[in-house]
Each structure stands twice: as C-alpha cells, then as structure tokens.
Amino acid sequence: MIRIVFITTGLSTGGAEAMLFKLLEHIDRKKFDPYVISLISQGEIGPRIEKLGIPVVAMGMNTSGLSLFPLARLFKTLRQIRPDIVQTWMYHADLLGGVVARLAGVTKVVWALRNSNLSPNLTKSSTLKVVQICAAISAWLPIQILSCSKRAGEIHGQLGYSRDKIKIIPNGFDLTAFQPNPKSRESVKNELGLPYDVFLVGLMARYDSQKNHAGFISAAAQVRRAMPHVEFILAGTGVDETNEALTKLIAEHDLKNHMHLLGQRSDMPRLMASLDILASSSFGEAFPNVLGEAMACGVPCVVTDVGDSAEIVGDTGRVVQSGDMEGLARHVQELLCMPEEARARLGQKARARVKEKYDIQLIVKKYENNYENLIIN
C-alpha cells in the first residue's frame, strides 16, 4: 500500500480544496493510505475529509506571519507517518510543505499548480514572492509538478518552473452528483419567488477580484435591458447581502430586484441544474470547477478565455476575451434566444464532453497511475 500525505495550505471552501476532496473521496483505499495536513486550519473541508475515514491534522499556522513552531510540528508529523509520497497542494504548501518534507527524509515530493493568473494587481505580493522562490528551487525540490491546466503549466514554465517536471492532470467531476434535473429549476424559482417562465443566469464564484463580479454585473445589466425576463443567481463565499461593495454596485445598475445573492451554499448540484446559462467573467482561472459542474448538469456556459476555460467548454458554449463584458452579455443573450430544443441539445453536448474528458473516475485513475509510477521509478 502506498502511503501519501497531502499537504495543503488550507481547507476552506474553494476550487482547489474541492478537487482535493474529490480525489480523496474516490481514491482506491486498498492501494493508497492517505493523510491530510493543512498548514492553517481544517476549514470547512477538513471535517468532510475526516468523515471519509482519512486523518486530517491542522498545523495552526498564522497567515499574518511565519512561525517555526508549526513547521517543527509538521516535521515531527511527517517523521511519524513516514510517507512514500508527499503531494503538496497550492503555493505555500509547495514551498513550506515541500522543504519540510525533504528535511524529514521524503524524496518523492510532488507539487500542484492550481492557478494561472499571477497579475500583480490581482495577487498578493507575498504569494508572488513564494512563486518566485518555488520557481528557483523547482529544479531540485519536487520530483514532479502536477498542473490542473495546460495554461497554468505554460505560464509557470515561463516564470522559471522546471518545464520537464510539469505534467497535466485536469480536474474531475462527479456526474452522478451533477446531472440535469428539471425539478431543480422549479424548486429554485419557488425558493426565490420567481415566475416559472423566467430565464436563470448564474455566476458561481467566491467574492474575489479575480472572479470579476463587477464585470458580470455590468454584463447582466446589458442582458436585462434587452431581455427583461432574465434573473441572475450569484452564489459563493462573500456573495451575500452583507457585502456592501457588491450590493452597492448592484443597486447602481438597477438590478437589486433581479440579482439574487445566495452566499455560500451546500446544494450546488441543485443550483447548477436550475440554470439556463452559467457565466464566468473571471480575469484569472486555472481549471474552474464551476464550468465542469454546470456542463455536467446540461447547462451551456459563456466564459472568458482564462486558464483552460476555452478548452473545457470547447464547442458546447461561448468564449470571449478576458474583460470583454459586452461580448459576454451578447453571447448570453444569443444562447437564451435559441429555441429551447437547440439550447437543450447544446447542454446535452456539454454533459457528454465532461463525461468523455473529465469524469472524476477517469481523473482519479490518472492520479493513481501517476503515484504508482513514481513508486516504481
């Protein structure tokens, strides 16, 4: 049995954390013995991982500064577990977890790339510094670097990461959890007090500058002016009525009664299946999970060309350049104006694409084969 320790920066709700959970949920426990270490806290995902019967340890690292005590504890924990492989997850874990793992005697350290936009305007200076250090030591510290997207791999190669160590394994999706469900559309409209004949356009993303909520709101206003029977659903951490900046912007665009802020939700399959269109207005992504989730529900997507978004959507949706919110609005309108049967066929094609390329069983098998090859070699 292969013992793997996954070291992640944190376990709060996010795309990277969600993919880690899905990998752990489906990994073959007869072949792999997984442990999880969070540098910060257990967050929302930690308890869910523990329910799988997988140990989760939080080091309690302070995000405001580096402390040696959590790193010493990490070193001791790794010495006790004696893993065959350490898979780090996100930048700070790549650097700190990777270095400590090597000091603890682990020779097979695998990094993970989960981001493709490192613009100084949208990324913390501390994170950019960590990326620079990782690039400088990537030739000798990790045995391999797994990237969830082709674009992320290319960008990090340009930044100085060891190109010959980068391997692409995309995110995967559970097609039994995310699937078309007409009852979801009816129940969500009932929940929000909306007429059954309105269209629903969604943006499912935490409140973050990279997600470009402001751009989506401007696009939504354009759509609403042309098509008054469209309503907008926004869900994600920080996307609720307590977000003053967001509610102010919505009011300025006269969308207060038509933009529904649902905050962080635990019923994402239901919300996704309720949509007519999913929009992604992001400035930066690597491999956005929401696209695969929506497509698995038979929902066409209109996205900005960031990360691997265009690759994921293929010919089942529409793609615009980053920042082109007029184009985003135009394509949303185009898809909504399609005959219902034509839009349904596009959604069926989207689900088929996810099944062919990104089914979670297929993706987990790629991880498993990769780990087994690392042990053999």
Q: Rounded to two decimals, what is the model's pTM? A: 0.89
Q: Which of 222, 220, 201 is nearest to 212 (CA)?
A: 220
Say if residue 65's pLDDT is above 90: no
Residues 6 or more apart whose CB falls under 8 angstroms from that of 358 comprise 170, 171, 172, 173, 292, 312
Overall average pLDDT of the 346-350 stretch: 98
The chain-wide mean pLDDT, for the chain, equals 94
Determine contact, residues 279/332, Cβ cutoff 8 Å. Answer: yes
Model confidence at 221: pLDDT above 80: yes
Count of C-beta atoms within a 10 Å radius of residue 33: 17
CB within 8 A of 47, min separation 6: which ones?
56
Two domains, one topology: 2-172+360-376 and 182-357? yes
Buried b / exposed e across 114-135, counting CB within 10 Å, b at 16+?
bbbbbeeeebeeeeeebbeebb
Q: Are 319 and 304 in contact (CB under 8 A)?
A: yes
pLDDT digits (tens, 9 = 90+) for 133-185: 999 999 999 999 999 999 999 999 999 999 999 999 999 999 999 999 999 99
**pLDDT tens string 356-368:** 999 999 999 999 9
182-357: CATH, from 3.40.50.720, 3.30.420.40, 3.40.50.2000, 3.30.70.100: 3.40.50.2000
pLDDT band at 122 (very low <50, low <70, confident <90, very high): low
Per domain, the residue ranges of the chain are: 2-172+360-376, 182-357
pLDDT value at residue 119: 72
Percent of the chain with pLDDT over 70: 98
pLDDT of residue 64: 66
Evaluate whether the domain defined by 2-172+360-376 bears CATH number 3.40.50.2000.
yes
pLDDT of 139 reads 95
Residues 302-339: b if buried by 16+ CB within 10 A, e if exposed: bbbbbbbbbbbbeebbbbbebebbebbbbbbbebbeee
Q: What's the mean pLDDT in 345-366?
A: 97
Residues 52-71: what's their mean pLDDT? 86
The full DSSP string for 290-355 is HHHHHHHTT--EEEES-TTHHHHHTTSSEEE-TT-HHHHHHHHHHHHTS-HHHHHHHHHHHHHHHH
H/E segment holding residue 113: strand 109-113
